[in-house]
Amino acid sequence: MAPAFPSGDDWTNFGIGGRPNYKRFSFRDIVLRNRLTALVVDGVNFCRMVEEGFLRACGVETQGVDNGDAAVELIASGAKFDLIVIDMYLPILDGLETTRRIRAMGTRCKMVGVSASFSERDGQAFLAAGVDALSEKPLSPEILVPILRELDGQYSSI
């Protein structure tokens, strides 16, 4: 499950410009040495915009689709990604089934499942369907940055 995020109550000190002085992961802290690509599958337009924005801020080439069917078609057409971020609740084809179909096509890339909240059962189901990690919305840098570093490191060791 996604780690607890610092709450607004933890911001006790604001520097000039109004930025909190709390030390935390930031999407802009990561510097990738290799070209990484990602697909965001989220039916809510502005959520997808935010998720794509975070990935691009990390230096990842990112595409987005708004439903599961489109994601499956894209992968079936031969598109390859290092990372797929996928919402559990999607229109047309839901996140669980989309994940199963993507995995059934032989896709072995890292997949992160996202949702507004995960019950234990939902989380287990999503992991069983084939995602490697879970993140409650909003997409957490604590989850994403280590994954990107790992993927970046895999390329560097080749």
Please list the residues that pair with 111 across neighbouring strands. 84
CA distance to 34, 42, 93, 98, per residue, from 144 (Å): 16, 16, 25, 21
From the list 64, 68, 113, 141, which residue makes contact with another protein (rule: CB under 8 A)? 141
Which DSSP helix (H) or strand (E) runs through 83? Answer: strand 83-87
From the list 36, 38, 41, 59, which residue makes contact with another protein (rule: CB under 8 A)? 59
Size of the site for another protein (CB under 8 A): 35
CA–CA separation, 35 and 38 (whole Å): 10
Nearer to another protein, 108 or 120 (CB): 120
Nearer to another protein, 33 or 105 (CB): 33
Of 75-83, 98-106, 114-122, 126-134, the segment contacting another protein by CB under 8 A is: 114-122
CA distance to 12, 80, 91, 146, per residue, from 24 (Å): 14, 31, 34, 13
Cα–Cα–Cα angle for 136, 74, 112, rounded to 5 degrees: 20
Does the protein bind another protein through residue 18 (CB under 8 A)? yes
Residues that bind another protein (CB under 8 A): 5-9, 11, 14, 16-20, 24, 26-28, 44-47, 49-50, 53-54, 57, 59, 87, 89, 115-117, 136-138, 141
